[in-house]
Structure 1
Amino acid sequence: MRKMLADNASDQVKFDSQRQRHDMHGQFRGLFRDDSEEFEDEVALLGKERRDQMYDVLKKKFGFNQFRHRQKTAIIAALLGYDCFVLMPTGAGKSLCYQLPSVLSDGVTVVISPLKSLIEDQKTKMKQLEINCCALTSDLSQAESDRIYAALSETNPKVNLLYVTPEKIAASEKLNNVFASLHRRGLLTRFVIDEAHCISQWGHDFRPDYTKLHSLRKIYINPRVPIMALTATATAKIATDARDHLSMPNSKLFISSFVRSNLKYDVIAKRPKSLLAVMERMKALYPGKSGIVYCLSRKECETVSKSLQNEGISADVYHAGLPDKKRQNVQARWINNQINVICATIAFGMGIDKPDVRFVIHFSMPKSIEGYYQETGRAGRDGLTSYCALLYCYNDSIRARKMIEGDNSTVGVRSMHLNNLMQVVAYCENVSVCRRKVLVEHFGEVYDAEVCRTSATPCDICLMQTRNKETFKAYDVTDQAILVAKSMARIAQSSKGVTLKYLADTYRGHTSNRKLANAWLQSNQARLPMYGEGVGFSEMEAARFMRSLVIEGYICERLYNTAYDSTVAYAELTNKGFDLAVGKTRSRIYLHMAIGGRRSSNAADAAALLRMTVVSEAQARKEKYMVKHADLFKRCHEELTSLFNVMAAEEGLSSHLPILGIEGIEQIAALMPRTNSDLLQVEGMTVRKVERYAPRIMDLLKKYWLEVDAREQNEIRQQLNHMRRNNEPVGGFPEMPTQESSVATQLTPAIAPSVPVAGRGRFVPRFSAA
């Protein structure tokens, strides 16, 4: 087994990801349908004169010789009057999709944007390009406001773009009267909704006033005013929700790749000096260059900024607690390179067009994968290599949870945000799957990790695998997890809860010399079923094991405030964990550990670790997907077996076994791999076999990919319908891992739905925890 895994790892390194592809790398799953192809023939759609005008404005007004990504097709659709939903990553040039049509169109394009700072930045840029624009924001003087309203009331307004906030639309009768007047006169050209993910409660930056924008379609329907919505961070669920909410479900979708190949992603263990060590690297790599350090709170911004200043680094803070003028001053100084580093909360950076940001550091954990992707996307917009590091400490997730649980939102909304947060925890805990793959596939784009591994900017996981610095392998820890669950059931009879640290220490056979508050825990620790079972584990591995049980949903943590105004998290069994303890579930549980990472080299300790089975990556994930779509697995398995028998016969073989064994075919049927590298992970596959058989295997799998995607799209619809019926996201529908999710630990844990079996931490087990 070990030799097979090593051979496969060697094959992985040698695999040439740039050869002719028959897989889905670089394509989007069936959850999205890009409409770009419909608008490729510019002359046929626009006519030669209009086409020439479009390119003339592109060059003379904006200074570009050609379009990027999906800009051209989105602009053509806009000029033809279609509703458009534009999903492009940060730095891909989304704004041009409405700015250029506004120059070519008569009338006023209304741009709805969430932040005044974003509006000011866009307005400054438009004035530099000599495009007529204005903004109606709350900080305008009465005289300036009157001047803008007068300009909009002219017979032929000389305003191409009008920027407003959703709050302004909701509160200003005068503004809505102007919209009505423009509409009657045929001069209301288009509504543009920037940062459209803010409409969806599933989004990472939901804003209630955005939900009121659904009235735009109802009011301005005769004649119909087109709507263009733009965002850099929308999953299939968020995009579907936003399009439905704006009454534009049939809008044309334009979607660009989420791959930012010039960004290097890294996750670093957060220790007292970690940030300063990273900043020293940044000073050496990018002397005098700009960067952003994202912090969880205003206080943390201040503390981090002072720490950097003490080290001679030019830094300042940016957060909502500062006066407007102070924030504007800090932003301007940073943009003009008068200061190098901004220590900011997540509001900073949205819409700011600074191409030469060389690094983005997250000092504390972001609250969602979408938010993390958007924030890191502010680095390297000029296409040059840039660095994105997340300083990870599990306790930061507890701090973030405390903030989320303190919200006044509904239970369903809090549950959704907690699930989003734990997806980030899973991303950070991951030690085996390319980080770029995890990020890109979160948004529905299929990505072959080998492309990252062989690039100039490999993520930390790919770099580790390439250098063979530390090899993480998947171990079957199911029996160990059962002992943990049984121990927790016994603990629950006599204690309100224990910390993950207590569980990890107990598992390793480590008895604390410090007196515990609960005497039962102190005196019975060595009698628990799991005591000393993890004697071969290092402290870090044991802690990761316990956290993996949280991520997988077997354990949940509840937060309690102490008398000293601090917060402690107590671990409790969930319903899923109880089923594990009593043998009601057959699911296998796997943990990635590094060879040589044990606490000691003692032979007995090593033997304890080696009692657990090492499995391949594909084997570790097979069972999960076999269960998720059992009927598809059965049909796919039968077709694959027939295909391999046919290929064997063509080669004069009496059986498919010399090509691929029974286990390998089962793994393909369960995982339905969509990239060559994922196929290569299947047991028995080699580079030669992938090159020879992948085209026919992938061709067979295509219909199953479509079926899986259709089912998941239907699940999204069910969740959205439930949300609309109950006026909140459904708490009982945690995000499930998709067929293409590739992180073994990336099972989204449902914190709120996974409640203790009976109340808040105390229950009498229905079995003998012997």
Structure 2
Amino acid sequence: MPAPPEAPDLTGAGPAEVLRRIFGYDSFRGSQQDIIETVVEGRDALVLMPTGGGKSLCYQIPALVRPGTGVVISPLIALMQNQVDALRALGVRADFLNSTLTMDQRRMVEQEFVGGRLDMLYLAPEALGTPGVQQLLDRGKISLFAIDEAHCVSQWGHDFRPDYLQLSMLHERWPDVPRIALTATATSATHAEIATRLKLSDAKHFVASFDRPNIQYRIVPKDGPQQQLLELLRTEHRGDAGIVYCLSRASVEKTAEFLSREGIPALPYHAGLDAGVRARNQSRFLREEGLVMVATVAFGMGIDKPDVRFVAHLDLPKSVEGYYQETGRAGRDGQPSTAWLAYGYNDVVQQRRMIEQSEGDLAHKRSLSTHLDAMLALCETVQCRRVQLLNYFGEEAKACGNCDTCLTAPEQWDGTIPAQKLLSTILRLHRERNRKYGVGKAVDVLLGRETDETRRGRHQELSTWGIGADLNEAQWRSVARQLIAQGLLAVEGDYSVLVLTDGSREVLGRQRTVMLRTEPKRPSKSRSRSSASAAGGVKAAPADLDPADAPLFEKLRTWRGATAKEQAVPAYIVFNDATLKQIAARKPSSLAELATVSGVGEAKLARYGDAVLAVLAE
């Protein structure tokens, strides 16, 4: 990337002026101003704010206003380059220290820091623990410490990083330097753990709304998940960038290959790949437009790609926190995006088995089970999914009108009798045949299926043989899945056999009514995409853009893509989609008019202004 324009002189500039001149925005959002003023004044802050809520500005602006260099603790070395590129494009003097640098490069960065010629310096948490880096920081002037992805300090969290536990030393070694810890996901328990472990109990705490209204949450029953995913991408997200999460490495590979065969550019990412391959795939995803990354949960933390239009899960996440964190990678630019999950009976069985086989004591396994129960409740709810999701984080909300249960309300039905039939079959198979079975065998008995195994086991003699013909196999599996989710049935052992619980006995004893969810036949789609466009392979115009402006928007995107490629940076570092849409709609005819567009700061106006006006003049 070419050297950025000379850094603007910000001497005496306040937060609002820095926001306008560097970042190109006229006003702060939500609690940003209060957070920034707290840190500028030299006080500590703990910030819980959703992905896409503007967390980075909460430490970047104080670092530019306060004297010295802002030191950012970032957990992923692979993403530091992109974060630094984005700041340099704004005219901010930023750099990083990590293992990717040569000795000469490292020495140069250290000299820039000690000489006071850096606004921002990015470090990995493990680097901060080394005496050499600590001594280096002692030689320079530090404006603040920013601890990004602070939930990594939670020992039983989904992204735990042991190196984060040492970050409490920041206050001990540099007591006069303000600290700001930020995360995009935390329950009240995780919030408290962050404050305790980082010694931020006396800091000012800011908890923003976790609502991401631009994301449409949809959960569908599994029915050939790869084909379901393909239909989603072809009908709603053709040509869009997105992330597909799978539980296993094998599933990642197979899904990436499947999408590629179907003409959708897709790359795999998991811990089993060569480190160089992982780095190249991640770099391509960040820098190219329209790529789909198929990955395990090893991918995604810290991904700062604003135009991810969908996040899909082909397997059940382990917790609501993990699900929220992963789906939050969609729509960071505030534009309409989709969070889609395919969920089935085998997901529940697999997750229960993984908990039983996990390391840790009984308390840890109970914690994992509690997290899974909350995720199952989200999947099985007949209420607004967003309400349930926000309630998990202690936030009250009203029905959103932009999730599948709001758009196509599922019905409930009294499933007490089917539940009794299924539970009675499981009981009889165990008691009368002295064996425990999985759901498949119980369904065979209920449907009266003649197979070699049912004949060998004389299952036809069971009193429940053939009494379930009123439901089909998929419906019976849904009954089993929902009974497990409600704790009325349990999975046991490596072979996923079904066993009764205390709740099961209440149902069999007619002491408990069982209400079950009826799945809608088809999920609703909020953003209409013409079937002609989907069938013909044409990417539909953004829903919030006047169709008359769509051709100009695409010309600007083409220019942006060529410019980004020439500079070897991600396209969004040049301008994001939201800024290009404003340019296409307002059609500025001068640099002064272009400067009024949100997202066009002084450095970008100087670097790209004339080129943008040339595209508009065409």
**TM-score normalised by the shorter chain: which range applies?**
0.7 to 0.9
Classify 1:522/1:149 alpha carbon distance in 2 versus 1 (closer, same or farther; 3 Å): farther
d(CA) in 1 for partners of 2:32, 2:349: 41
Deviates more, 1:312-321 or 1:228-237: 312-321
d(CA) in 1 for partners of 2:231, 2:55: 34
Residue 589 of structure 1, CA deviation: 3.4
Residue 540 of structure 1, CA deviation: 3.1
Classify 1:595/1:245 alpha carbon distance in 2 versus 1 (closer, same or farther; 3 Å): closer
Q: Which residue of 2 aligns with 1:144?
A: 105
Residue 93 of structure 1, CA deviation: 1.0
Q: Which residue of 1 aligns with 2:614?
A: none
Residue 536 of structure 1, CA deviation: 3.5
Name the amino acid aligned to 2:451: R
Tell whether the 8 Å contact from 1:358 to 1:379 is kept in structure 2 after alignment. yes
Q: Which residue of 2 aligns with 1:591?
A: 516
Residue 142 of structure 1, CA deviation: 2.4
Give 5+ residue unaligned stretches, structure 2. 1-9, 522-618
- 1:557 matched to 2:511: no
Residue 97 of structure 1, CA deviation: 0.3
CA offsets 1:176-198 (integer angstroms, 9 cap, x no match): 3334555xxxx343322111111
d(CA) in 2 for partners of 1:173, 1:370: 35
1:514 to 451, 462, 477: 451
Q: Which residue of 2 aligns with 1:343?
A: 294
Q: Which residue of 2 aligns with 1:161?
A: 120
Tell whether the 8 Å contact from 1:394 to 1:425 is kept in structure 2 after alignment. no
- 1:178 matched to 2:122: no
2:93 to 116, 127, 132: 132
Tell whether the 8 Å contact from 2:447 to 2:468 is kept in structure 1 after alignment. no
Q: Which residue of 2 aligns with 1:98?
A: 59
Classify 1:549/1:400 alpha carbon distance in 2 versus 1 (closer, same or farther; 3 Å): closer
Q: Which residue of 1 aligns with 2:403?
A: 459
Classify 1:512/1:304 alpha carbon distance in 2 versus 1 (closer, same or farther; 3 Å): same
Q: Any idea what SS the aligned residue of 2:338 has?
A: strand
Q: Which residue of 2 aligns with 1:236?
A: 188
1:392 to 326, 330, 343: 343
- 1:197 matched to 2:159: no
Q: Any idea what SS the aligned residue of 1:267 has?
A: strand
- 1:66 matched to 2:30: no
CA offsets 1:655-712 (integer angstroms, 9 cap, x no match): xxxxxxxxxxxxxxxxxxxxxxxxxxxxxxxxxxxxxxxxxxxxxxxxxxxxxxxxxx
d(CA) in 1 for partners of 2:520, 2:324: 31
1:262 to 210, 214, 218: 214
2:393 to 423, 435, 443: 443
- 1:369 matched to 2:308: no
Q: Any idea what SS the aligned residue of 2:160 has?
A: coil
Q: Which residue of 2 aligns with 1:282?
A: 233
Tell whether the 8 Å contact from 1:475 to 1:593 is kept in structure 2 after alignment. no
Tell whether the 8 Å contact from 2:348 to 2:481 is kept in structure 1 after alignment. no
- 1:116 matched to 2:87: no
Classify 1:259/1:414 alpha carbon distance in 2 versus 1 (closer, same or farther; 3 Å): same
Residue 390 of structure 1, CA deviation: 1.0
Classify 1:486/1:180 alpha carbon distance in 2 versus 1 (closer, same or farther; 3 Å): farther
d(CA) in 2 for partners of 1:419, 1:518: 40
Name the amino acid aligned to 2:133: L
CA offsets 1:120-144 (integer angstroms, 9 cap, x no match): 2212212222322332222222232
d(CA) in 1 for partners of 2:483, 2:162: 35
d(CA) in 2 for partners of 1:537, 1:280: 27
Classify 1:532/1:250 alpha carbon distance in 2 versus 1 (closer, same or farther; 3 Å): farther
Tell whether the 8 Å contact from 2:94 to 2:118 is kept in structure 1 after alignment. yes
Residue 555 of structure 1, CA deviation: 2.4
- 1:497 matched to 2:456: no
Classify 1:177/1:195 alpha carbon distance in 2 versus 1 (closer, same or farther; 3 Å): same
Q: Any idea what SS the aligned residue of 1:549 has?
A: helix
Q: Any idea what SS the aligned residue of 2:496 has?
A: strand
Residue 330 of structure 1, CA deviation: 2.6
Q: Any idea what SS the aligned residue of 1:347 has?
A: coil
The Cα RMSD (Å) is 3.2
Q: Which residue of 2 aligns with 1:208?
A: 162
Residue 230 of structure 1, CA deviation: 0.8
CA offsets 1:604-654 (integer angstroms, 9 cap, x no match): xxxxxxxxxxxxxxxxxxxxxxxxxxxxxxxxxxxxxxxxxxxxxxxxxxx
Residue 359 of structure 1, CA deviation: 2.0
Identity in percent: 35
d(CA) in 1 for partners of 2:508, 2:188: 36
Name the amino acid aligned to 1:540: A
Tell whether the 8 Å contact from 2:448 to 2:460 is kept in structure 1 after alignment. no
Write the mapping of 1:739-758 to structure 2, written as runs, cut at 5 A: none
Tell whether the 8 Å contact from 1:504 to 1:546 is kept in structure 2 after alignment. no
Name the amino acid aligned to 2:134: N
Name the amino acid aligned to 1:514: T
Residue 557 of structure 1, CA deviation: 0.9
Tell whether the 8 Å contact from 1:316 to 1:339 is kept in structure 2 after alignment. no
Write the mapping of 1:681-696 to structure 2, written as runs, cut at 5 A: none
Classify 1:518/1:128 alpha carbon distance in 2 versus 1 (closer, same or farther; 3 Å): farther
How many residues matched? 512
d(CA) in 2 for partners of 1:472, 1:50: 62
Residue 401 of structure 1, CA deviation: 4.8
d(CA) in 1 for partners of 2:122, 2:487: 45
Q: Which residue of 2 aligns with 1:711?
A: none
Give 5+ residue unaligned stretches, structure 1. 1-48, 466-470, 561-567, 597-770
d(CA) in 2 for partners of 1:74, 1:91: 16
d(CA) in 2 for partners of 1:495, 1:92: 57
d(CA) in 2 for partners of 1:410, 1:119: 36
Residue 440 of structure 1, CA deviation: 2.1
Deviates more, 1:404-413 or 1:306-315: 404-413
Q: Any idea what SS the aligned residue of 1:90 has?
A: coil
Write the mapping of 1:76-91 to structure 2, written as runs, cut at 5 A: 76-91=37-52
The TM-score normalised by the length of structure 1 is 0.61
Q: Which residue of 1 aligns with 2:463?
A: 527
Write the mapping of 1:378-417 to structure 2, written as runs, cut at 5 A: 378-403=329-354, 405-417=356-368
Q: Any idea what SS the aligned residue of 1:540 has?
A: helix
Tell whether the 8 Å contact from 1:511 to 1:525 is kept in structure 2 after alignment. no
Tell whether the 8 Å contact from 1:201 to 1:413 is kept in structure 2 after alignment. no
The TM-score normalised by the length of structure 2 is 0.74
CA offsets 1:455-481 (integer angstroms, 9 cap, x no match): xxx32222223xxxxx6124262x765
d(CA) in 1 for partners of 2:502, 2:12: 62
Classify 1:485/1:316 alpha carbon distance in 2 versus 1 (closer, same or farther; 3 Å): closer
Residue 532 of structure 1, CA deviation: 5.9
d(CA) in 2 for partners of 1:383, 1:595: 28
Q: Which residue of 2 aligns with 1:321?
A: 272
Tell whether the 8 Å contact from 1:365 to 1:392 is kept in structure 2 after alignment. yes
d(CA) in 2 for partners of 1:536, 1:523: 19
Residue 258 of structure 1, CA deviation: 2.1
Tell whether the 8 Å contact from 2:415 to 2:515 is kept in structure 1 after alignment. yes
Residue 261 of structure 1, CA deviation: 1.9
Deviates more, 1:134-143 or 1:77-86: 134-143
Tell whether the 8 Å contact from 1:315 to 1:339 is kept in structure 2 after alignment. no
Residue 535 of structure 1, CA deviation: 5.0
Classify 1:51/1:386 alpha carbon distance in 2 versus 1 (closer, same or farther; 3 Å): farther
d(CA) in 2 for partners of 1:291, 1:107: 38
Tell whether the 8 Å contact from 1:473 to 1:594 is kept in structure 2 after alignment. no
2:500 to 573, 581, 589: 573
Tell whether the 8 Å contact from 1:103 to 1:160 is kept in structure 2 after alignment. yes
